[in-house]
Structure formats: C-alpha cells, structure tokens
Structure 1
Amino acid sequence: MVVLALGLIVSLVATPAAAAVDLTVETSYQGVEGDSQAVSTTVTITPDGPTMKDIRIEIDETSSSFVDFNSFTRTTEPGTADINITYQGDGVYVVEELERGETITITFEAYPRTIKAESLDVATIQIDYVQNGQDLDARSRASVSLENSSYFALQSEQSEVESLSEQVDDQKQTISGLESDVEAKEETISNLESENAQLKTENQQLQSQVDSGNLWGLIGKALSALLVLGLAGSVVYWYLINTGDLEGPEESSGGSDDDFLED
C-alpha cells in the first residue's frame, strides 16, 4: 500500500496542469496616417476555467521598443463585478481573483525604436496565477506591422518615382525615335522638293529650246516658201519670153546695123 501511495504521488507531480486563461493581445499602428508613432496595445484577460487567484500581470518593453508606463489604463467587465485590481507601476498589476465571466482589459502605448523593420515585438506580457491550487502562468508578445511607417511610405514613393522616371525615359526614347522619323521624312520631302524644282527648271529650259526651235523652223519654212516662189516666177518669166507672149526690151531708136550700112 505504501508503494501504491508513492506511485500516486509521483503521478500527480509528473502531470502538469494546463493553463486555463484566455489571453489576447491586439496592436494598432497608424504610421503616416496618424500624428504619432505610438503603437496602441490592448491586453484582455479572462478565465477559461475555474477562478484565478493571486494574479500578477507584468507587461514589459522589448529590445526593439520602449513602453510608456504612464499611458496604462484598465477596465473590468461586467461593470458590476467586484474585482480588486491594483496598478503597481512599470506595467505591473496585481489582482486578488478573477472569476469565470469576468474580464480585465489593459491598454497602453509602446514606441518602436526603429521604423525600418516590417514588423517587431513592442511588449511582452506574462501572467502568473493560482488555479485549482496550482501555480500557473501564461505568456504572450505584442507584435505589430510597420509597413505603413513613414520609412516604407518613402520607399514606396521612391519606387513609384523610379517607375515613373523609367516610363518618362521610355517615352523620351519613343519621342526621340519619332523625331528622328520626322526629320528623316522632312529631309526626304526637302530632297523631293529640290528634285522637283530642278525638274521644273530643266523643263523650262527644254520648253525654251523647243519654243526657239519652233521659231527658227517657221522662219526657215517662210524663207523656203519665198525661195520657191522666186524660182517659180523666174521660170514663168523665162517661159513667157521664149514663147513670145511677153515682149522683150525695146530696141534702140538709132535703127539697125543694116540701115546704118545702107546710108
């Protein structure tokens, strides 16, 4: 029987009791949308089992933050509950007991030591208490995202500026290419206009030559016609004389040579 009793005692000591407390932590960080870099933190504690007694709540800062211990406030629910809670300062509360259905809510502000981290822990929460005659504890950490901090907002704006700058460079290259095409087309048009002007000049010169050639041709034709008429008149004149239809020049009044001899 002594052996059985010792075995029972060892069994009870070796079996740890599970913590029966509901501990929730919420954080809020406004970043560039607010006027402060504070991280608002809310800790809610309520029994998830029998009554909790001799409760000690300790909230502390981390290596990446500091806690404003003057910002602590607390509320209890229900409002009619007789909960004896005392704030000892530096984030430490003591509570005589907390029955099932009763809740303690603690709020405070913490400040990150850097805003260049995407997320960090701003506080640690530890609760020591007695439940069913056993000493128990519960721990948690208050974590927050800093993605909307001014640092990341600046990074985002710089990325946007770089993206817009790249778009502007691309548009400049496109415009430069279009300007080159316009210049090439303008040069082509100028060359065509020069060629057209040259062709007009050559055409005018050819037209002048043609007009001059036509004039001399007409003059040649006229001279040829006059020459032909002159030859035709000479032939007719010669013909009329030979046929007797046209008298020749009158003979001299001195008579013929025969009359001169007779005398």
Structure 2
Amino acid sequence: MLKSQKHVFWQALFVTILIFGVGIVFGIILENWRTGKVDELYQRSEISLLDIKLQTEIYSQGDFKCNSAVRETFNFAERIYEEARQLERYETASTLSEELKTRHQKYDILRANLFFNSLRIREKCEDSFNTALYIYQYNNQSIDTKAKQNVFSKLLGELKDREGTKLLLVPMAGDNGIVSINLIMDKFNIAKEELPVILINNDIKINDLTTVEELEAYIKKPKTRKWSDSSDDVIEKEIEKEELKVIRL
C-alpha cells in the first residue's frame, strides 16, 4: 500500500515537472516568435520612414496628380495603421515594453508626416477628402481616460467604415515625447490635459461625443484652415529631426 502511494506520488511529480517544463519552453518559443514579428514590423517602419520622406519632398514641390496622391495617401495610411495595430497587440502581451514604446514612436512620426502631407494634398486638390486627426494618451492612462478613448476609437472606426476613402483617419499619441506632434498640438491649441481630442478638417475640435452620427454631422460640413508657410517649415524640420533621432536607435 505504501509503495503504491509512493509510486503515485512520483508519477504526479513527474507529470507536474513535465508540464511545467513544457510551459516554460512554450513561453520562450512564443516570446521569440513575438520578438521576430516585432523585428519584422521594425524593418517595415524603417522603409516606411524613408518612403514618406520622399513623399513629402514630392508633395512640397506641388507637381503631382491629385488622383494618384489621394489614392497612395490612403493606401499608405491603411498599411501603417494595420502595422501599428499589430504592434499594439504585441505591446499588451510582451515584456519588451521600452523597446515597443520606441517603435510606437516611429509610427507616431509616420502618422505626423502623413497628416502633414495630407494638408498639402487637400490644399492643391480642393479638399477632395476629409481628415480626422485623433490625438490620444499613450502613457499613464486613468480608468476614465481609457474608457473615453475606447469610445472614441470605436466611433471613429464606425465613421471610417461609413466614409471609406472620403475620410483620412490619422491616430497618434500626444504624450510620447515627439516634438513635431507637440508642435501640431500647439498649432491647433490642443493641450495634453485635454486628450483624447478629435480634430476634423483642422478646424473642428471635439472633446466629447456619444454617437457616430455626431461625428458624421461634422464630417459633412468640412472647413479648411491653411497653415502658414512658416508653421509648415517649423513642423517639417522637427519631423526630420525626429526621424533621424529614431532611426539611430
């Protein structure tokens, strides 16, 4: 009887150790796979940074076809949006928080540059699409802020589904230490304490809303306010500095 109990004990111990060991190995494999995916996103973001830099040069010369510019801008926005969503999924499941934060900053710079380019395209192409700039908190979110941002994200997603290529949605973190984004916020009188904020067509600032219909009402009444040349130059130079800074990391 005693021998039988010992035999059962050793069997249970062996199974426990085996399961524990398999769990550790699986965890290591999963983390390595996740790291590999993050590295892949990193390579894509490097290419995208160079790509959008060239796009900015082209748009600054003003010699481009509106149809092509609008189409490529929306394609680029969709691609970096999907890549950033992948990164966010890895952020919630990975221990590489600081490294992922740096990579998140890269996508913020990409989006800032994308927004900057969209202003030039809309100026030349007679407001051929609406813009919704969504600036949110990335760090130290309170429960209320997180809940509000979830609502904003959901409503903006619904609005984008309805509007399609009539709306360029550009989300970016406003508290990630990116100077060019800080300058954009200053230009449109957006304080960090106000976040999250939605800016429609560079003119309508929204801090509170409850339905997608509220947003849609603003979208259907676009108002455009052009930036001065001096403001354009300052923000563009800061974007260039941020790109170089992050590329060196």
TM (norm. structure 1) is 0.17
Higher helix share: 2
Higher strand share: 1
Considering only CA atoms, is the larger Rg found in Structure 1 or Structure 2? Answer: 1
Higher relative contact order (CA 8 A, sep 6+): 2
